[in-house]
Structure 1
Amino acid sequence: MMDKVVVYRDGEELGEVELTAKRMTLGRDPASDIPLNDLSVSRSHARLTKVFNDYFIEDLNSTNGTFLNDRAVTKHMVRDRDCLRIGSFELRFVLQQQGDDELDRTVVLQRPAAVARTAPARPAPAAPLAPKTAHLRFFRGPMKGMMERVERSLYTIGRPGSEVAAIARRPQGFFLLHIGGDRYPRINNKEITTTRGVQLNEGDVIEVGENLAEISFVQSSQNQSRAS
């Protein structure tokens, strides 16, 4: 089943739009991916971006604002059954949201089961644990001099409508990826253009627009106990 939004106006269902593109525009402009023809809607009102299997709504400096579950937002993750209000329209999300990481785990777990039918199972070596949390120390930009703790699955850096990047936490570690804007983020002065992201290492310097920060990691308590 394809991810989609159901569009309503004044309580009446107008139709459904399948979310087939990585980026979709919403606005009064007829050329928008999701056109919303009403004077309460700006011509280029908002943008919906898909990062892996997650969706983000971003207000594009609209006149009347973008509201997710009745809260004004500039950039926010969208989940299944969320309600987006733009002008006189309501858009209700119907999302599957089965992450790539879950699919990867399914494949890894199924393969040993198939092998076990033909040969004695051998214990697999323990995989090193990925860092549990990360810290960003900002040297430039609005957060200069501050230290930020990165714990959630997706942490965004930048300013909506300008350069925006995200740090994604996966089982393997933390990855930097490009979200929006004409300029790409940099790691140690090297542009990151791949949509899959690049894994971050201890001491990497991240540059996103006017922001410059260094990343460091905190291992899980299990790793810390081994080291002590």
Structure 2
Amino acid sequence: MRSLTSWRLVQGFYWLAAGTWFGALVMLCIVAPTTFRTIYEQKPVMPAFSKLDPAAIAAGGAGEGFQSMMQTTSVESMNRLAGSIVGRSIDGLRRLQWICAVVIVLAVLLHHTVFARRMPSRGLVQWLNNLRVTLILVPVLVLAADSFWISPQMKAARAVKNDPAQAEEAVARAERSFDRYHGLSERLISVQIAMLGAAILASGFALHGTAGDPAEQGMEHAGTAEHRA
């Protein structure tokens, strides 16, 4: 009976993590374009910065070589604001993804170790279970690639292209790099959503009605009958 309770507890955390991860990624696909569209519609006023003449800098006119100019609602400034909002949201989402990934991986490991007798061992259901594990592995690998490669590259490129002290050539190079990694990130998010959705569907077949210990099931039925009596 205790083993059955543990199994149900693991299942609960598994479905909770899988659903949360999938739903969070879908929500990101809705929130990101909505944020940009809202910024464009509201046209918030933000300060702009412009380079000063080097001679003025040498004369001590401005220590940093830049001065705050008139307020602006340029497309560039709105893109920067919307991008910053979405970027912060993605940073928070990434932490949530890691929590979900750890819970799911631990649950899958428990499925095939502690609760191995409850898992399908032959036929189509076993194939679906193997497919489920593969589909889960892909989003985890994508998350690792995003966390340790794509996201750092995007942050570095964003810092350069938003820095008014950088030369135009460096800014242009950073913009190309940012756009390249941003496009890759969008495609990988789509892959994660597809893989997680398929994994959840496969889990419905692979984990539904899996056989447990017959003696344990008999104890459960006996306990239920006694309770009803």
TM normalised by structure 2 equals 0.25
Give the structure with the higher percent helix.
2
The structure in which a higher percent of residues are strand is 1
- Indicate the structure whose relative CO is greater, using CA pairs within 8 Å and at least 6 residues apart: 2
Which of the pair has more CA radius of gyration?
Answer: 2
- TM-score, with length taken from structure 1: 0.25
